[in-house]
Amino acid sequence: MAQIATKATTADTFNVKATLAHNRLLGLWRLLKGYRPMYLSATLSLGVAALLMTGGVLLIRYFVDNILVRPDESFMTAALAVALLYVAMQAVRGFFSFRSNERAARVSESVALRLKDYLFDHLQHLPFAYHDKMPTGELIQRVTSDVDAIRLFFAEQLIGIGRIFVLFVVNFAALLFLHAPLALLSVLVIPIVMVLSLFFFRRVSAAYEDFQEQDAVVSRTVQENLSGVRVVKAFARQDFEKQRFEGENHKKFRLGTRFMTMHAIYWPFTDVLMGLQTALGYLAASLMVLDGQITLGTYVAYVGVVWWIIDPVRNLGRLIVQVSEAMVSYDRLSEVIRPDWEDMGYGLPAPVSQPQGRLKFEGVSFEYEPGKPVLHDISFEVEPGQAVALLGSTGSGKTSLMALLTRFYDYTGGRITLDGVDLKAYPRVFLRNLIGVVEQEPFLFSTTIRNNIAYGVYREVSQEEIEAAARAAAAHDFIASFPEGYNTLVGERGVTLSGGQKQRVALARTLLKNPRILILDDATSSVDTQTESQIREALDGLMSQRTSFVIAHRIQSVMNADLILVMDKGRIVQRGTHEQLMAERDGIYRKTYDMQASIETELERELSYVGLAV
């Protein structure tokens, strides 16, 4: 038997879910846990840089008032000293500016790394039902675009707001030192700009949320199209897909245009207000110089200082608008993070440590949505080593029934027992290591064939074991024909392999796991008759040692089962062996058999005609 995983591979270092808060700023602050001292050092470095910048302006004031306007024999020496001091101050200021940006960048990248690592792990631990409902493209959008918005918030926006605050405090204090009435005159429009910024913040937030939602739709459309590219090409639906994508992309264009128009409207208002404020300040300062109220050096210093108040506050509105994007992204990420993990039962003992595989279904019912049952009163028993076949049309409930065994979903009525113990008493991780599944559409990872086969085993696997599993799945011969053999790389979803080859690799992966219970979900649907015969022959010995379930549409695939269950609309409508069901002439099984036999006979006749014609 395969080894049982004993613990989750979780992001134990930091629980992002614990940081969530209704107040988004509080939640973002909590995300900084562990990096706050570094971020604080970035802010302090910014403060030092601001002080040095303002100090440089005041040094110029001293030079103008005390050296430039009253030159003497020591003028060159004094001018050189002031110049050297100014250069030194700006060099130190440059260092602290670099230090601030570097610290902020390191923190923002660390938070993004933490978020992405957590989200990847979190998504893997969410219940199967969550992934059934949530589009893959939407999740990709949130893990990439929305995380990047949070990264930019810490890298540029939050530190930018801090920079504006520090610059305002330092330079406004300098203005008060230069001339208090002039300082008050120079900030008249700032409250107006703040109110205007908050007004745009609310509206831009709504517009950005709409844009992000549509961006996710576009990403989902691309993802679906690329995943189903073979179907698109097979049905020559490229023009239809092109029109569908262009329609969604045009919606994104309209929402993006609306969003950016709001940005464009904001800037002219603030430019006009700040321009008027600057002109008014310069005019007042000029008149004060002419009137002798302030010196020329004070005027020069005022011009330098007031700009470092006006321009940052003007940019504050832009940053506030951009912060709205981070707030929206935080909400979207919170929606993904809030759902609880699936309870896998890591570390919990199983009630039966070595189950034999005796299963009993007692009046089992199940519904994906309340009030809409998909399985009704399912009852049957399976002894260890028996093979049970499930036959029925698409949507009859076969796959849903098997999903209950792995506890991807829990039954809502009746009960299932494994070796006499309720299935819900077994930890999910135990059941999923006990059960091997070969899906109807197998998934192969973008790695070597060897790694794909060894994927489900929690230990080092020898080459002999890999090859034995491949032989049992009738896969060894075609793998050995590749130049790289088992080290052959397969593309996304194994697109370099045929459908039948992918299924045989997936089957080998399950067989190497050596499960006690085996589920074959129409696992031979994509292989030819000869290959199916080879797989069936290899599986005969293996299936006799484990409880097996075979989901199939072709009766030839289930004829040798110990028990055949015919399902229709979520109910078992017939049960028995092949011989027993064939005796029921009006039953679905017999009608299906006759129809499939007729089709195969007709196909053979047509092929023989083609052969004769050739």
Helix, strand, coil percentages in the chain from 3-state DSSP, rounded to 5 = 65, 10, 25
Please write the tens of the pLDDT for every residue from 452-510.
999 888 888 899 999 998 988 888 989 999 988 999 888 665 557 877 788 888 888 98
Evaluate if residue 43 carries a pLDDT over 60: yes
Separation of alpha carbons 370 and 287, rounded Å: 78
Q: Which helix (H) or strand (E) holds 380?
A: strand 372-382
Please write the tens of the pLDDT for every residue from 177-225.
888 888 888 888 888 877 877 777 667 767 777 887 888 788 778 877 7
Check if the beta carbon of residue 429 is closer than 8 Å to that of residue 125: no
Separation of alpha carbons 401 and 566, rounded Å: 12
Q: Measure Cα distances from 328 to 221, 333, 448, 550 in Å.
A: 22, 9, 40, 47
DSSP 8-state secondary structure symbol assigned to residue 484: T
Separation of alpha carbons 605 and 278, rounded Å: 93
Please write the tens of the pLDDT for every residue from 145-155.
899 999 999 99
User: By CB neighbour count within 10 A (0-12 exposed, 13-18 middle, 19+ buried), where does 193 fall?
Assistant: buried
Please write the tens of the pLDDT for every residue from 518-537.
888 876 665 666 666 666 66
Q: Could you give the angle at the alpha carbon of 486 between the alpha carbons of 482 and 487, nearest 5°?
A: 90
Please write the tens of the pLDDT for every residue from 177-189.
888 888 888 888 8
Average confidence (pLDDT) over 12-29: 86
Check if the beta carbon of residue 21 is closer than 8 Å to that of residue 30: yes
Evaluate if residue 396 carries a pLDDT over 70: yes
Percent of the chain with pLDDT over 90: 27
Mean pLDDT of the chain: 84
Please write the tens of the pLDDT for every residue from 403-456.
999 999 999 999 999 999 999 999 999 998 899 888 877 888 888 999 999 988
User: Higher confidence at residue 5 or residue 604?
Assistant: 604
Please write the tens of the pLDDT for every residue from 551-587.
887 787 788 889 999 999 999 999 999 999 999 888 8
Percent of the chain with pLDDT over 70: 89
Check if the beta carbon of residue 27 is closer than 8 Å to that of residue 8: no
Chain centroid, CA 401 distance in Å: 29
User: Higher confidence at residue 418 or residue 69?
Assistant: 418
pLDDT of 525 reads: 62
Q: Where are the alpha helices (DSSP H) in 488-528?
A: 499-513
Please write the tens of the pLDDT for every residue from 345-392.
888 888 988 898 899 999 999 999 888 899 999 999 999 989 999 998
pLDDT of 12 reads: 47
Residue ranges and CATH numbers for the domains of the chain are 24-337 (1.20.1560.10), 359-613 (3.40.50.300)
Check if the beta carbon of residue 56 is closer than 8 Å to that of residue 93: yes
Separation of alpha carbons 210 and 226, rounded Å: 25
Evaluate if residue 36 carries a pLDDT over 60: yes
Q: What is the DSSP string of 312-335?
A: HHHHHHHHHHHHHHHHHHHHHHHH
Chain centroid, CA 292 distance in Å: 66
pLDDT of 5 reads: 45
pLDDT of 223 reads: 74
Q: Where are the alpha helices (DSSP H) in 349-423?
A: 398-405
Separation of alpha carbons 594 and 598, rounded Å: 6
Please write the tens of the pLDDT for every residue from 294-314.
888 888 888 888 888 887 877
Q: Could you give the angle at the alpha carbon of 282 between the alpha carbons of 278 and 288, nearest 5°?
A: 145
Q: Are strands 387-392 and 421-422 parallel, antiparallel or unpaired?
A: unpaired
pLDDT of 607 reads: 61
DSSP 8-state secondary structure symbol assigned to residue 409: S
Separation of alpha carbons 205 and 203, rounded Å: 5
Report the 3 state secondary structure along 558-591.
CCCCCEEEEEECCEEEEEECHHHHHCCCCCHHHH
Counting DSSP H helices and E strands in the chain, the numbers are 21, 10
User: Higher confidence at residue 102 or residue 72?
Assistant: 102
Check if the beta carbon of residue 313 is closer than 8 Å to that of residue 274: yes
Evaluate if residue 614 carries a pLDDT over 50: no
Supply the pTM of this predicted model: 0.78
Tokens found for residue 156: 């540029």
pLDDT of 611 reads: 55
Q: What is the DSSP string of 334-356?
A: HHHHSSPPP---TTPPPSSSS--
Residue 234: phi and psi, rounded to 5, are -65, -35
Tokens found for residue 252: 């994104």
Evaluate if residue 8 carries a pLDDT over 60: no
Q: Measure Cα distances from 373 to 85, 398, 410, 413 in Å.
A: 82, 14, 13, 10
pLDDT of 526 reads: 59
pLDDT of 122 reads: 93
Q: Beta strands of 166-264 (E only): which ranges?
A: none
